[in-house]
């Protein structure tokens, strides 16, 4: 980021290529709408460019980017609260109650056919469990689980204390466990025992 | 959940996400091995994480990347070019302050232009002033000027001006006295005095006049061309005898409009105008309302412009105010004005009887200002009068406007008489209109041409030719002069003097026109 601020545009390209997917994922899971997530992602990077001259290396770049993205998502959620937002679980077919849900159309990261089929069955359940979390817990879980942001930095991003972040994380994990149990999903469904991060 | 349990849960989270140091990790793992609840809790966390790791992470859309990179490149170029200048407080206020200053400057300039008569359209300004003067005259035609009394109370700090204006007041006093003898006793003749002063003053004196008027450049600017014109006509009048002197006097009476429009309206020759007036008045014998002339008409003829007797007379008439005069030209100017004042009596003979009550200018012009008692009283009132020069000019212009209005009224009567077939009456009205002292070139030429036609119509070729000759003489370059020349030729041809008829026409060239 300091290189980009010094006038190197390629530094910014590297930053974008490195962080755009996790940031997009965070935005998508937090905003809940792919098109809106795309707009918010673009706006996030534009803000990064505009704020490059004011960037101070007191925190990690990821912390800064996620702070921007999170604030944009919060603002967007406030605006969208006055509108009717499409649910990821809402069927796309109008009136018939059938068809693939929006969450099911989210492309998979690539896997073998078997695992792909397994994940296709598992995705809606996981997304439903994640969507069931309150936003403040969901954002902490997303940042920690998928973006690899430390609790201390999550506290900076969300503007709360680190203990609050850990508390929200505990509640998020407990809520996910209960929701997955309700949905019939437990840890045994994971084939290889891997986690998203770490 | 107790505080200890919470602390243990937090440590388990940190252990799960690898945020503990190796030593802390070993300690927590040792505790978990010995604590079944913590081991169960750790397993639950890891189970949830295993499930949630199956959540797909879609790739970010590629759309907008190019534009984003282009934008970043442009921003990087700007960054490498250097930081933009910091917006200081004075930079923020520079543009609005500059705009405000420009607006204020423009407003001041516009106001100054609106106030400066020399930058205005002279014709428009004259029209406005005439309208105002006409309205004022209509409201109080005989009212004494209150402004004059107010102005007379102003302190006099310019000795030169006092020396210049003293005789003017003297003349005014004389005229006022004459008006009083005639029972009028109202109004101020300061307008004439101003023009007399300007006409008699040499250029140096005009400079003094302007100095005095420096707070109000308007009056000085207006008087400057008028003073030159009148100076010429005054000289000519003095050389030409009492008849021309009368003409000068009449010209002064109607100076206001001409001075305001020096480009075109300052053209009329006051001397010739006066001569016609003298002819008409003597022919009709209607000078009974005016006081008989006291001063000898030939006095101006014998008065050279810089003669010592006139200096002496000046010293006698205005001793108090002439003393501080620093310029040597002032006595001469005063002497000339004195002489011009002595020329005034013929005007009395020329004043038309139909100078109706509203024709104040005509009455004042007819006043024999050279009466001895008038001069004495004029000396006493000179200090009042010289302060009213500005007002006098305005008064003169107002009277000129009144004269013009009167001339137009008489012109309308003449038209009516013409329609009725009474050309004799028409000629009479036209003569009276000309005798009002109207100085507007268009009006005068129109009246003269109509007078010419009227005389020709009734068979009075001599009078008709005189009117036409006056047009040719006074307005040689005008279209009316060409018409008049043609009528002269025709008239003289009719009278068998065709050969001599071409001379006035050739004399109509500006070079040969007596000025």
CB-CB: which of A23, A50, A173 is closest to B45?
Answer: A173
Taking the Cβ of residue A153 and every Cβ of chain B, the question of whether any pair is shorter than 8 Å is answered with no
For residue B11, give the chain A residue with the closest CA: A166
Count the Cβ atoms, other than its own, within 10 Å of residue B276: 27
What mean pLDDT do residues B429-434 have?
87
Q: Is B17 touching A (CB cutoff 8 A)?
A: yes
Whether residue A142 is predicted with pLDDT greater than 90 in this model: the reply is yes
What tokens does B322 get?
Answer: 């002439």
Q: In this predicted model, which residue has the larger pLDDT, B318 or B32?
A: B32
Share above pLDDT 70 across residues of chain A, in percent, rounded to a whole number? 71
Is the pLDDT confidence value at B54 over 70? yes
State the pLDDT at residue A93. 44
Q: Taking CB atoms and an 8 Å cutoff, what residues of chain B touch A151? A: 13-14, 17, 19
pTM given for the model: 0.39
Per-residue pLDDT band at B2 (split at 50, 70, 90): low
* Most confidently modeled range among B225-234, B253-262, B429-438: B429-438
Q: What are the backbone angles phi and psi of residue A150, rounded to the nearest 5°?
A: -70, 155
Rounded to two decimals, the ipTM of the complex is 0.77
Nearest to B69 among A13, A21, A198 (CB): A13
Encoded tokens for B503? 């001379």
More confident residue, A67 or B136: A67
Ranked by mean pLDDT, the top range of A82-91, B100-109, B144-153 is B100-109
Q: Give the best-scoring range by mean pLDDT among A41-55, A126-140, B68-82.
A: A126-140
Subunit contact B54:A123, Cβ cutoff 8 A: yes
Q: Give the pLDDT confidence score for residue B339 in this predicted structure.
A: 46
Q: What is the pLDDT of residues A150-162, one digit of tens each?
A: 999 999 999 999 9
Contact residues on chain A for B76, CB-CB shorter than 8 A: 4, 7-9, 12
- Mean pLDDT value across chain B: 61
Instruction: Label residue A87 by pLDDT band (50, 70, 90).
Output: low
Lowest mean pLDDT across B6-10, B116-120, B126-130, B278-282: B278-282
A47: tokens are 């803000």
**What's the pLDDT band for B335 if we cut at 50, 70, 90?**
very low
* Nearest chain A residue to B73, by CA: A9
Residue A109 near chain B (CB below 8 Å):
yes
Q: Nearest-CA distance from A189 to chain B in Å?
A: 7
Residue B266's contacts (CB-CB under 8 Å, 6 or more residues apart) are: B225, B226, B229, B258, B259
> Do the Cβ atoms of B367 and B174 come closer than 8 Å?
yes
Name the minimum distance, in Å, from the CA of B93 to any CA of chain A: 25
How does the average pLDDT of chain A come out, rounded? 78
Tokens of B136: 């004022």
Is it the case that residue A169 has pLDDT exceeding 50? Answer: yes
- Within 78-97 of A, beta carbons closer than 8 Å to B belong to none
Burial B288-301 (b: 16+ CB within 10 A, else e): eebbebbbebebbb
Confidence bin at B234 (pLDDT 50/70/90): very low
What is the pLDDT averaged over residues A97-113?
Answer: 50
List Cα–Cα distances, B223 to B202, B217, B220, B309, B476, in angstroms.
13, 10, 5, 28, 25
pLDDT-derived band at B382, boundaries 50, 70, 90: low
At B92 the pLDDT is 77
Three-state DSSP at B367 gives: coil
Residues of chain A contacting residue B58, judged by C-beta atoms under 8 Å apart: 24-25, 28, 34, 106-107, 109
Residue of B nearest to A168 (CA): B10
């Amino acid at each position: 980021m300091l290189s980009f601020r010094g006038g190197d545009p390629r530094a910014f390209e590297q930053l974008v290529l490195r962080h755009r997917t996790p940031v997009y994922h965070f935005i998508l899971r937090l905003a809940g709408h792919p098109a809106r997530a795309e707009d918010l992602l673009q706006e996030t990077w534009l803000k990064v460019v505009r704020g490059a001259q004011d960037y101070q290396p007191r925190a990690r770049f990821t912390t800064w980017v996620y702070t921007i993205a999170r604030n944009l998502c919060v603002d967007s959620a406030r605006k969208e609260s006055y509108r009717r937002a499409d649910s990821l679980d809402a069927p796309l077919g109008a009136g018939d109650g059938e068809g693939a849900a929006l969450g099911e159309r989210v492309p998979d990261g690539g896997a073998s056919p078997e695992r792909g089929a397994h994940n296709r069955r598992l995705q809606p359940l996981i997304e439903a469990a994640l969507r069931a979390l309150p936003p403040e817990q969901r954002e902490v879980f997303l940042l920690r689980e998928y973006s690899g942001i430390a609790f201390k930095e999550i506290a900076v991003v969300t503007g709360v204390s680190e203990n609050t972040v850990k508390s929200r994380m505990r509640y998020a994990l407990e809520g996910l466990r209960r929701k997955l149990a309700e949905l019939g999903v437990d840890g045994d469904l994971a084939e290889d025992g891997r986690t998203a991060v770490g | 959940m107790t505080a200890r349990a919470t602390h243990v849960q937090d440590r388990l989270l940190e252990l799960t996400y690898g945020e503990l140091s190796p030593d802390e990790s070993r300690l927590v793992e040792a505790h978990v091995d010995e604590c079944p609840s913590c081991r169960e809790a750790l397993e639950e966390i890891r189970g949830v994480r295993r499930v949630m790791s199956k959540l797909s992470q879609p790739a970010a859309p590629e759309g907008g990347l190019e534009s984003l990179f282009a934008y970043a490149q442009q921003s990087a170029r700007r960054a490498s070019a250097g930081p933009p200048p910091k917006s200081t407080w004075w930079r923020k206020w520079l543009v609005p302050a500059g705009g405000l200053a420009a607006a204020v400057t423009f407003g001041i300039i516009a106001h100054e232009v609106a106030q400066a008569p020399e930058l205005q359209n002279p014709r428009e300004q004259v029209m406005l002033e005439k309208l105002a003067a006409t309205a004022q005259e209509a409201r109080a035609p005989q009212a004494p000027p209150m402004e004059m009394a107010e102005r007379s109370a102003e302190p006099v700090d310019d000795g030169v001006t006092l020396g210049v204006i003293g005789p003017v007041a003297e003349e005014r006093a004389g005229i006022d006295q004459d008006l009083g003898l005639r029972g009028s006793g109202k109004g101020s003749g300061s307008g004439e005095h101003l023009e007399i002063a300007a006409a008699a003053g040499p250029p140096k004196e005009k400079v003094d006049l302007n100095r005095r008027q420096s707070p109000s450049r308007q009056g000085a600017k207006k008087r400057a061309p008028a003073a030159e014109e009148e100076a010429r006509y005054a000289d000519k009048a003095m050389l030409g005898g009492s008849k021309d002197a009368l003409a000068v006097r009449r010209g002064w009476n109607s100076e206001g409009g001409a001075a305001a429009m020096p480009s075109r309206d300052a053209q009329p020759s006051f001397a010739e105008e006066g001569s016609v007036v003298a002819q008409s008045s003597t022919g009709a014998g209607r000078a009974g309302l005016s006081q008989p002339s006291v001063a000898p008409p030939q006095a101006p003829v014998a008065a050279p412009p810089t003669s010592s007797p006139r200096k002496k007379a000046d010293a006698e008439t205005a001793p108090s105010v002439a003393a501080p005069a620093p310029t040597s030209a002032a006595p001469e100017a005063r002497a000339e004005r004195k002489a011009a004042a002595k020329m005034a009596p013929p005007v009395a003979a020329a004043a038309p009887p139909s100078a109706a009550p509203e024709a104040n200018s005509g009455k004042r012009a007819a006043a024999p200002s050279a009466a001895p008692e008038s001069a004495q009283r004029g000396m006493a009132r000179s200090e009042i009068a010289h302060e009213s020069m500005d007002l006098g000019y305005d008064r003169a212009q107002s009277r000129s406007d009144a004269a013009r209005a009167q001339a137009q009224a008489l012109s309308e009567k003449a038209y009516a008489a013409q329609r009725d077939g009474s050309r004799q009456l028409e000629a009479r009205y036209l003569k009276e209109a000309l005798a009002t002292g109207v100085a507007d070139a268009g009006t005068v030429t129109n009246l003269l041409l109509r007078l010419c036609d009227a005389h020709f119509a009734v068979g009075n070729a001599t009078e008709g030719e005189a009117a036409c000759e006056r047009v040719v003489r006074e307005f040689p370059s005008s279209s009316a002069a060409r018409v008049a020349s043609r009528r002269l030729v025709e008239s003289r041809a009719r009278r068998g003097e065709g050969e001599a008829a071409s001379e006035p026409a050739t004399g109509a060239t500006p070079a040969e026109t007596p000025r």
